[in-house]
């Protein structure tokens, strides 16, 4: 076997960190799409089945682009399906938030809102990436993500400011998911990518926090009290970086999710579908 076939446009020293970055973002999109795929046909109304399917579709599309590009950057001839179907849970680099179970509609929506607020600021910043492939992808993904955020934020406000029951459920969802938001504050060890302008913005986390604080106030919902006693990170969720999903540390929920996603494909190695 020969070594990787590097892209001529890519600075060789950036290759490992760019590959990791693409897998982190691709896994983020795919794992959340997979969770949403489990909701379709179980949504509170038909319009919601359609909206959730639509968001899931966009995320699958984003993951496919990111994985395809990851394959080019890696230079070993791997395609999108390799990264989705033939890696194990320890190799997945998504934030833990997106692997959390669907729960009730409040959990599904709050998880989506926390994610979308991150994803929108991420893609906005990536439009200025020095990497032309990523900048082009960001232009499209930003528009899609703006719709996703409008949808999830709209629901968070309606649930928070709806009935007593919906308020209670939304607050419970926030409280239970809050600890997973530390991953959204920043991605560790991407300094090289920041310095080279491939990932131009290192302050997505601050912007994420501003969006979340404003929307939750609008929704009459509270940010969990642990915020004020947090250590260091700007989101205040305070989980330490060693447990970050971006580094391959996961909750017990990722394994079964991947098992369902991958089982059929893995039962037929080499088959076309």
Partner 1 sequence: MEAQDRFDAIIAADERIEADDWMPDDYRSTLIRQVAQHAHSEIIGMQPEGEWIPRAPSLRRKAILTAKVQDEAGHGLYLYGATETLGVERADLLDLLHSRKQKYSSIFNYPALTWADVGAIGWLVDGAAITNQVPLCRCSYGPYGRAMVRVCKEESFHQRQGFQIMLTLAEGTDEQKAMAQGALDRWWWPSIMMFGPPDTESVHNARNMAWGIKRYTNDELRQNFVDMTIPQAELLGLTMPDPDLRWNEERGHYDYGEPDWEEFMQMVRGEGEMPAQRIRVRKSAHDDGAWVREAAEAYAQKHEAAA
Binding site residues, partner 1, CB under 8 A: 30, 33-34, 37-38, 40-50, 53-54, 56-57, 60-61, 63-64, 67, 80-81, 84-85, 104-105, 157-159, 161-163, 165-166, 169, 260-261, 263-265, 268, 270-273
- With respect to partner 1, which residue has the nearer C-beta, 132 or 271? 271
Question: Do the Cβ atoms of 175 and 146 come closer than 8 Å?
Answer: no
Q: In this structure, which long-range contacts are made by residues 53-58, counting pairs with CB atoms below 8 Å and at least 24 apart in sequence?
A: 55/112, 55/148, 55/151, 57/33, 58/141, 58/144, 58/145, 58/148
Q: Smallest gap, in angstroms, from Cβ of residue 15 to partner 1?
A: 24
Q: Smallest gap, in angstroms, from Cβ of residue 244 to partner 1?
A: 25
Q: Smallest gap, in angstroms, from Cβ of residue 30 to partner 1?
A: 8
Q: Smallest gap, in angstroms, from Cβ of residue 60 to partner 1?
A: 5
Write the burial class of residue 29 (CB in 10 Å: 0-12 exposed, 13-18 middle, 19+ buried): buried
- With respect to partner 1, which residue has the nearer C-beta, 159 or 216? 159
- With respect to partner 1, which residue has the nearer C-beta, 40 or 213? 40
- With respect to partner 1, which residue has the nearer C-beta, 14 or 157? 157
Q: Cα(138)–Cα(116) distance, rounded to whole angstroms? A: 14
DSSP string, 93-117: ---GGGGS---SHHHHHHHHHHHHH
Q: Cα(151)–Cα(109) distance, rounded to whole angstroms? A: 9
Q: Smallest gap, in angstroms, from Cβ of residue 218 to partner 1?
A: 11
- With respect to partner 1, which residue has the nearer C-beta, 203 or 222? 222
The two structure tokens encoding residue 136: 């082009």
Q: Smallest gap, in angstroms, from Cβ of residue 22 to partner 1?
A: 15
Question: Do the Cβ atoms of 96 and 245 come closer than 8 Å?
Answer: yes
Q: Cα(232)–Cα(242) distance, rounded to whole angstroms? A: 14
Q: Cα(109)–Cα(218) distance, rounded to whole angstroms? A: 16
- With respect to partner 1, which residue has the nearer C-beta, 177 or 185? 177
């Amino acid at each position: 076997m020969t070594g990787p076939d590097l892209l001529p446009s890519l600075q060789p020293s950036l290759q490992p960190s760019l590959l990791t970055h693409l897998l982190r973002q691709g896994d983020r999109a795919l794992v959340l799409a997979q969770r949403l795929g489990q909701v379709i046909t179980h949504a509170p109304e038909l319009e919601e089945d359609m909206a959730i399917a639509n968001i899931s579709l966009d995320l699958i599309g984003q993951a496919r682009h990111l994985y395809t590009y990851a394959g080019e950057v890696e230079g070993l001839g791997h395609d999108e399906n390799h990264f989705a179907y033939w890696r194990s849970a320890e190799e997945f680099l998504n934030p833990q938030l997106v692997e959390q179970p669907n729960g009730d509609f409040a959990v599904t929506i709050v998880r989506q809102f926390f994610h979308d607020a991150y994803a929108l600021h991420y893609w906005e910043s990536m439009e200025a990436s020095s990497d032309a492939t990523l900048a082009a992808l960001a232009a499209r993904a930003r528009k899609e993500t703006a719709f996703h955020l409008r949808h999830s934020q709209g629901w968070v406000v309606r649930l928070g400011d709806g009935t007593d029951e919906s308020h209670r459920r939304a607050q419970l969802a926030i409280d239970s998911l809050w600890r997973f938001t530390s991953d959204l504050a920043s991605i560790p060890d991407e300094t090289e990518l920041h310095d080279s302008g491939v990932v131009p913005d290192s302050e997505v986390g601050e912007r994420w926090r501003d969006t979340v604080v404003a929307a939750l106030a609008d929704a009459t919902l509270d940010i969990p009290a642990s915020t004020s006693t947090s250590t260091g990170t700007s989101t205040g969720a305070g989980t330490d970086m060693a447990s970050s999903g971006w580094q391959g540390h996961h909750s017990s929920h990722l394994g079964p999710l991947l098992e369902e996603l991958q089982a059929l494909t893995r039962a037929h190695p080499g088959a076309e579908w």
